[in-house]
């Protein structure tokens, strides 16, 4: 009789057909598997039937039918998948079923097995408790999803051909049930990953990058069921700040970023390595994150996480930031669709970060341009005013002369104003020349000598305002390397201002000295002083104090801008310490000449 006719006549088939219907229509996988193992024991007469499912690299018993007192022993039992695969290789093949007679496979396999205690019957085909009978449960793709194992076959004998065929049918149904379950789980997972990607893409419509990251981090944390997720943008420049970051459920503020990840991710991205990178708490065998791995593991411990997946925010191969998804020990590893989803989030966020960066650069440039425009307007107004005042005076006096006025009054006024115009134009030319200049001429210049020269030049004004002046300088020269003309100009400007903005009878004191860092020169007065607000732009061209008393004294607001430029060209600094109404101290610091004796 042919195999087909055998089976069609078998009354046990009714149960099998019912099962097939359930396998195809039910979403209750656990229930269907229960029915299958019950079918094998009650319908086919096996003493024990169990289904184990693959979880990672272990086979875990999930469904059992047989004597109740065995149930607790069997359910949840784990065996390495590899042991079963090795046993398959040595088994007899009965269709898709595998039979391993006692003694054929070595100890390790048996140790992991659960062997029901029963005595074998008589005869050559007697079933022995050490025999093993499995049916591998395959998905249609050929992927092994689990096994069905049976024991105590009907009659205590090794199953005959017909029994094997019937058992095979149940095994096929169990495989289908697992495969349907896997398919459903994958679809559900893809749906969740798809939702996550939609949410991240929608977050991209928010204007503010911080809001984008906040919405995205939440979508990723929920979509990938993570115990902690971080999104961080790397600073734009080496010393830049990390202001753009978000975390969920712990917010961004809790832990600082892992700067070393940048180097690792850049290297991996350039090598076209796939992302995400998965990290456990053990030392990283592939050494994929040599610079940042330990820092990452430290953070994982802070969040009780045992696994983390790291992914860059990418634009092409440029790494703009990173995502870290952490999971705890009781959560399974990320599945391929979840990994792909995470990598896609990284590719979605990269351009968003880039756009935000471009926007902020644009805003900064716009603000700078506006400031420049404002400054240009102010500059034109100031120059016009400074040119116009002496010019008006000169023209007034020439008209007076034409009308026959005395030369004695008009000529000195015309000369004074012409000098003022010349001074302004000289200053303007110097200022513009210094902006172009890159480095000064270098020769030995004694700062104390320069100060003495400036005091001599100012002798008349000092006398006129009844000012006393003191110089405190070491005996020998205080030498720096520089352009003597330019440094003299700085000295003249600082001393000139100290005299100009002093009240009659005041005191101007100058100190020259040096220390390990360089030479210095400081000029103090007890004059008008400068408010904090005016100090902010004091060294900008054409800036003059807003104080009306200071404004009433003629000046161009160019002297300090020129001085600062000269000092900077000499790799030095100029600073001010001043209190409105009490006086000011300006200090210039310059590097020592390479071979000069160091003071201080």
Question: Long-range contacts: 351-354, Cβ < 8 Å, 24+?
Answer: 351/315, 352/203, 352/204, 352/209, 352/212, 353/209, 353/233, 353/244, 353/313, 353/315, 353/320, 353/321, 354/315, 354/320
Instruction: Determine, following the binding rule CB under 6 A, whether residue 498 of this chain makes contact with ligand ADP.
Output: yes
Distance, in Å, from the CA atom of 45 to the CA atom of 8, rounded to the nearest integer, reads 18
Distance, in Å, from the CA atom of 404 to the CA atom of 28, rounded to the nearest integer, reads 119
Minimum Å distance from CB 526 to ligand ADP? Answer: 10
Residue 242 is classified by DSSP as: -
Minimum Å distance from CB 300 to ligand ADP? Answer: 58
Q: Which stretch binds ligand ADP (CB under 6 A): 68-76, 232-240, 509-517, 523-531?
A: 523-531
Binding test (CB under 6 A) with ligand ADP, winner from 560, 567, 574, 590: 560
Instruction: Determine, following the binding rule CB under 6 A, whether residue 559 of this chain makes contact with ligand ADP.
Output: yes
Distance, in Å, from the CA atom of 427 to the CA atom of 493, rounded to the nearest integer, reads 11
User: Residues 444-483 vs ligand ADP: string with x where CB under 6 A?
Assistant: ----------------------------------------
Minimum Å distance from CB 424 to ligand ADP? Answer: 9
Residue whose CB is less far from ligand ADP, 312 or 583: 583
Which two tokens mark 132? 């093993």
Instruction: Determine, following the binding rule CB under 6 A, whether residue 526 of this chain makes contact with ligand ADP.
Output: no
H or E segment and range at residue 150: strand 144-151
User: Residues 318-347 vs ligand ADP: string with x where CB under 6 A?
Assistant: ------------------------------
Per-residue H/E/C for 259-273: CCHHHHHHHHHHCCC
Instruction: Determine, following the binding rule CB under 6 A, whether residue 550 of this chain makes contact with ligand ADP.
Output: yes
Minimum Å distance from CB 399 to ligand ADP? Answer: 28
Asked if 591 and 518 touch (Cβ cutoff 8 Å), the reply is yes
Positions of E strands within 234-299: 245-248, 277-280
Which two tokens mark 64? 């059992």
Which two tokens mark 173? 């149904």
Q: Which stretch binds ligand ADP (CB under 6 A): 71-79, 102-110, 468-476, 494-502?
A: 494-502
Q: Which stretch binds ligand ADP (CB under 6 A): 42-50, 328-336, 475-483, 551-559?
A: 551-559
Binding test (CB under 6 A) with ligand ADP, winner from 136, 545, 567, 572: 545
Instruction: Determine, following the binding rule CB under 6 A, whether residue 584 of this chain makes contact with ligand ADP.
Output: yes
Strand order in 48-55's β-sheet?
Answer: 78-80, 58-65, 48-55, 144-151, 132-138, 97-100, 92-94
Asked if 522 and 510 touch (Cβ cutoff 8 Å), the reply is yes
Instruction: Determine, following the binding rule CB under 6 A, whether residue 233 of this chain makes contact with ligand ADP.
Output: no
Count of residues near ligand ADP by CB under 6 A: 22
List Cβ neighbours of 263 (8 Å cut-off, separation of 6 or more): 291, 292
CA angle 402, 403, 408 (to 5 degrees): 75
Binding test (CB under 6 A) with ligand ADP, winner from 493, 522, 526, 596: 493
List Cβ neighbours of 348 (8 Å cut-off, separation of 6 or more): 197, 200, 201, 204
Distance, in Å, from the CA atom of 289 to the CA atom of 456, rounded to the nearest integer, reads 69
Asked if 91 and 99 touch (Cβ cutoff 8 Å), the reply is yes
Q: Which stretch binds ligand ADP (CB under 6 A): 261-269, 285-293, 339-347, 522-530?
A: 522-530
Number of helices (H), then strands (E), in the chain: 18, 19
Residue whose CB is less far from ligand ADP, 87 or 561: 561
Binding test (CB under 6 A) with ligand ADP, winner from 37, 558, 566, 574: 558
Q: Which stretch binds ligand ADP (CB under 6 A): 72-80, 168-176, 282-290, 552-560?
A: 552-560
Minimum Å distance from CB 550 to ligand ADP? Answer: 4
Instruction: Determine, following the binding rule CB under 6 A, whether residue 544 of this chain makes contact with ligand ADP.
Output: yes
Minimum Å distance from CB 508 to ligand ADP? Answer: 9
Other CB atoms within 10 A of residue 513 CB: 16
Minimum Å distance from CB 430 to ligand ADP? Answer: 12
Half-sphere exposure of 355 (CA within 13 A, CB side): 13
Distance, in Å, from the CA atom of 459 to the CA atom of 61, rounded to the nearest integer, reads 105
Binding test (CB under 6 A) with ligand ADP, winner from 63, 229, 307, 556: 556
Position closest to ligand ADP via CB: 555
Binding test (CB under 6 A) with ligand ADP, winner from 193, 495, 538, 567: 538
Binding test (CB under 6 A) with ligand ADP, winner from 276, 350, 555, 572: 555
Residue whose CB is less far from ligand ADP, 275 or 520: 520
**Which parts of this chain interact with ligand ADP (CB under 6 A)?**
493, 497-498, 501, 525, 527-530, 538, 543-545, 550, 555-561, 584
């Amino acid at each position: 009789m042919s195999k087909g006719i055998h089976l069609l006549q078998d009354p046990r088939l009714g149960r099998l057909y019912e099962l097939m219907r359930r396998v195809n229509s039910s979403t209750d996988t656990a229930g269907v598997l229960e029915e299958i193992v019950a079918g094998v024991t009650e319908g086919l007469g096996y003493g024990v039937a169990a289904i184990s499912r693959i979880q990672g690299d272990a086979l875990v018993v999930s469904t059992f039918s047989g004597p109740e007192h065995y149930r607790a022993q069997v359910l949840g039992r784990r065996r390495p998948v590899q042991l079963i695969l090795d046993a398959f290789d040595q088994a007899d093949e009965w269709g898709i079923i595998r039979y391993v007679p006692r003694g054929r496979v070595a100890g390790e396999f048996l140790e992991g097995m659960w062997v029901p205690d029963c005595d074998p019957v008589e005869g050559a085909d007697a079933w022995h408790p050490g025999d093993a009978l499995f049916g591998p449960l395959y998905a249609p793709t050929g992927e092994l999803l689990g096994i069905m194992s049976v024991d105590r076959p009907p009659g205590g004998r090794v199953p005959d051909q017909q029994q094997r065929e019937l058992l095979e049918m149940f095994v096929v149904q169990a495989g289908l049930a697992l495969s349907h379950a896997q398919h459903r789980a994958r679809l559900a997972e893809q749906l969740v990953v798809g939702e996550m990607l939609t949410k991240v893409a929608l977050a991209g419509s928010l204007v503010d990058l911080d809001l984008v990251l906040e919405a995205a981090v939440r979508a990723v944390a929920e979509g990938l069921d993570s115990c902690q997720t971080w999104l961080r943008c790397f600073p734009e420049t080496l010393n830049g700040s990390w202001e753009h970051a978000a975390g969920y459920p712990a917010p961004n503020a809790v832990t600082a970023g892992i700067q070393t990840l940048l180097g690792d991710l850049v290297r991996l991205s350039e090598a076209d390595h796939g992302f995400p990178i998965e990290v456990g708490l053990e030392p990283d065998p592939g050494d994929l994150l040599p610079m940042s791995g330990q820092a990452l593991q430290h953070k994982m411990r802070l969040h009780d996480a045992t696994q983390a997946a790291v992914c860059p925010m990418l634009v092409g191969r440029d790494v703009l930031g990173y995502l870290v998804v952490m999971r705890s020990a009781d959560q399974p590893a990320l599945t391929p669709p979840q990994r792909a989803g995470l990598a896609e989030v990284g590719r979605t966020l990269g351009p968003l970060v880039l756009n935000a960066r471009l926007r902020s650069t644009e805003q900064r440039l716009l603000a700078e341009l506006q400031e420049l425009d404002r400054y240009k307007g102010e500059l034109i107004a100031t120059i016009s005013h400074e040119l116009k005042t002496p010019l008006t005076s000169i023209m007034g006096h020439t008209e007076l002369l034409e009308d026959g006025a005395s030369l004695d009054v008009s000529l000195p006024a015309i000369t004074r104003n012409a000098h003022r115009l010349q001074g302004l134009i000289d200053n303007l030319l110097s200022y513009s020349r210094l902006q172009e200049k890159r480095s000064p001429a270098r020769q030995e210049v004694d700062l104390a000598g320069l100060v003495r020269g400036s005091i001599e030049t100012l002798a008349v004004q000092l006398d006129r305002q009844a000012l006393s002046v003191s110089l405190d300088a070491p005996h020998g020269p205080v030498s720096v390397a520089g352009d003597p003309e330019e440094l003299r100009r700085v000295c003249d400007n600082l001393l000139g201002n100290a005299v100009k903005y002093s009240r009659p009878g005041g005191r101007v004191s100058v100190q020259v000295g040096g220390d390990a860092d360089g030479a210095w020169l400081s000029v103090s007065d007890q004059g008008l002083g400068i408010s904090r607000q005016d100090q902010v732009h004091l060294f900008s061209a054409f800036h003059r104090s807003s104080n009306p008393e200071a404004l009433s004294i003629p000046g161009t607001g160019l002297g300090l801008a020129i001085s600062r430029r000269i000092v900077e060209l000499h790799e030095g600094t100029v600073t001010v310490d001043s209190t409105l109404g009490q006086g000011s101290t300006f200090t210039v610091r310059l590097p020592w000449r390479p071979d000069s004796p160091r003071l201080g």
